A and B are shown apart, each in its own frame.
Chain A
Amino acid sequence: MDISTITLLMAGGIFVLLVMGLPLAFVTASVAVVAALLQFGPNSLFLIASRTYTLVTEFAFVAVPMFIFMASILERSGVAKDLFRAMYIFAGGLRGGLAIQTMMVAVIMAAMTGIIGGEIVLLGLLALPQMLKHGYSKSLAIGTVCAGGSLGTMIPPSIVLIIYGLTANVSIGDLFVATVIPGLVLAALYIAYILIRCYIDPSLGPAASPEERQMPTREKLMLLKGLALPLFVAAFVMGTIYAGIASVSEAAGMGVIGALLSAIIRRELSWRMIHDALRQTMVACGMLLWLTFGANMLIGVYNLMGGTAFVQGFITGLPLEPWMILAVMMLVLIVLGLFMDWIGILLLTMPIFVPAIVALGYDPVWFGVLFCMNMQISYLSPPFGPAAFYLKGVAPPEISLMDIYKALWPFIILQFIGLTLVFAFPDLALWLPRVLLG
């Protein structure tokens, strides 16, 4: 069989099994096994098993459970609550101040965690009821929580970027530095949007009354004290990575220690909390890693057949300008994002896309940032926006899934603008790594 027929058969097999509801981890793995058996015979199975062993002992993967563990501990501590209260001092008097405060808290939380879900749940529990109580527009409040909470994987650390770095063979440190400015650009777009909307129509987000903002100075200082340690943890983790002192995996491990220490100082740490955080880490990693096993097998087998070279030749041979090819890839990612999780999209498309964009002369670090921004859209976009599902789980019952999706589209447009900006001006992503890391 020639490679184009095999490609079609494999793609068809993957599609059918996916639609049938087989977990993605087993879709990719079983297609890989069948293809290997047919094309190379039973001995190739041992090659697949060896690849899995190599993957599971990759040092960079250690960072994944560490960051998830760290986030699970922070989620279970009162850090977010304190952070939210402290920000109230600064933003209370502005129109839409509560929403802006929520966005700032989201950015700071995102700098401490690298996953989505937890952050949206926290903001949904803390910020959403506050905004609704103060007469904020339901849509604005929901959109702020979902878009802000999704920044967890955009602002480093980020699980998405770690897995991208491993898949694309790009330095994770570079990716983390590169995504800082684009992440802040997104947050700035959200804040500008909130300000403009509330300036035009104050009823969307009324300012807090002076009495409400009254708080003794001593109390204010107490609030700031509670914040110092978690912020130190975030700065410490990112600082060690940027300064090149520790590897990403070690820095992540130290981040866990920092999170545990801050929980001890706050007198919140218990075995129960550690046990629950570990369970959450175990489920998330078991899912992520077995998914990666399957995709790794599939890519390995496909590569051996010459498939990757075939697709790369096909893409670079298209009668299109390089930037148009890139734009088509972005479109493909957005469409896939409507139906699939980021991890599935990453593992299935990046092994093919990244070599192609490198052959076209683009920087894979920049592409990683674009991918990450794209996944921000996928979190919000219906019908399968995970952000909406996370929020639905904790939102007041009168808020329906339909309300949530209706609230999200302005933010999806903002994300699209952000993506276009970084697409048009690659320096938004690449300037900081150049300056910091040379």
Chain B
Amino acid sequence: MEKLPLVDRCSRVIGESMSYVYFLSVAIIGFEVVARYFFNAPTIWAHESVIALTALGFIFGGVYAMQRGAHVRIFVVVQLLPKHWQRRIEIFNQALICAYLCVFIYACWGVAERSIQQWETSASAWNQPTPVLVKTALVVGGIAILIQSFAFLIRLIRGHSIPTSDAQVD
């Protein structure tokens, strides 16, 4: 494996370990369907836990996609410009992403803080604090992308390149 900077390795570890929430979701869906149709005993927790788990996958998939350079973008117009302009635009873009993420984290924290204070539960038969979990995850997931984007920004300013969607091959 190629040697990646520490921040990138962290992003990968987060993404790859969190990807197992989808595997877990599959298992839960299978369990629920069998319980419901074969034993006539539907669970009260399957539906909500699958939603919470996949939500975690979606949220932390953001930083993984960022590290892999997989966020969809239109690149060709910029490529027509001279090299030094390309670099300036790249730096501007990355700085804008960082600025936006700060606002996003601030907004999500406002929502999560209230949820934690009230210890918000799902108000269902299961009634677990899944809203607290997912709302906090939005803040954490946002911070993870911010750290990765900031690392990219520094790399760009120093004149290095960062992954783009063109380079992403699975």
Contact = CB atoms under 8 A, between A and B. Distances in A.
A45 B65 contact: no
A239 interface: no
A190 to B, nearest CB: 27
Q: Which residue among B52, B60, B93 has the maximum number of chain A CB atoms within 10 Å of its CB?
A: B93
Contacts of A18: 74
* Complex A-B, nearest 7 residue pairs according to Cβ-Cβ distance, in ascending order: A286-B61, A253-B29, A286-B65, A23-B71, A282-B19, A45-B107, A49-B107
A289 interface: yes
B50 interface: yes
B72 A254 contact: no
Nearest to A278: B19
Contacts of B107: 45-46, 48-49
B interface majority secondary structure: helix
User: Which range contains the number of A residues in contact with the other chain?
Assistant: 35 or more
A20 B76 CA distance: 9
Contact of B26 (A29, A50, A59, A256): A256
Contacts of B97: 22-23, 26
Interface string A51-69: 0110011110110011001
B154 interface: no
A290 interface: yes
Contact of A280 (B62, B104, B106, B170): B170
B134 to A, nearest CB: 6
30 contacts: A20-B78, A21-B75, A21-B77, A21-B93, A24-B71, A29-B104, A33-B104, A45-B103, A49-B138, A53-B111, A56-B138, A57-B134, A58-B51, A62-B25, A65-B58, A66-B26, A249-B29, A250-B29, A256-B26, A257-B30, A278-B16, A282-B57, A282-B60, A286-B62, A286-B64, A287-B65, A339-B74, A341-B72, A343-B72, A384-B76
B110 A57 contact: no
B52 to A, nearest CB: 7
Nearest to A31: B100
Contacts of A23: 71-73, 93, 97
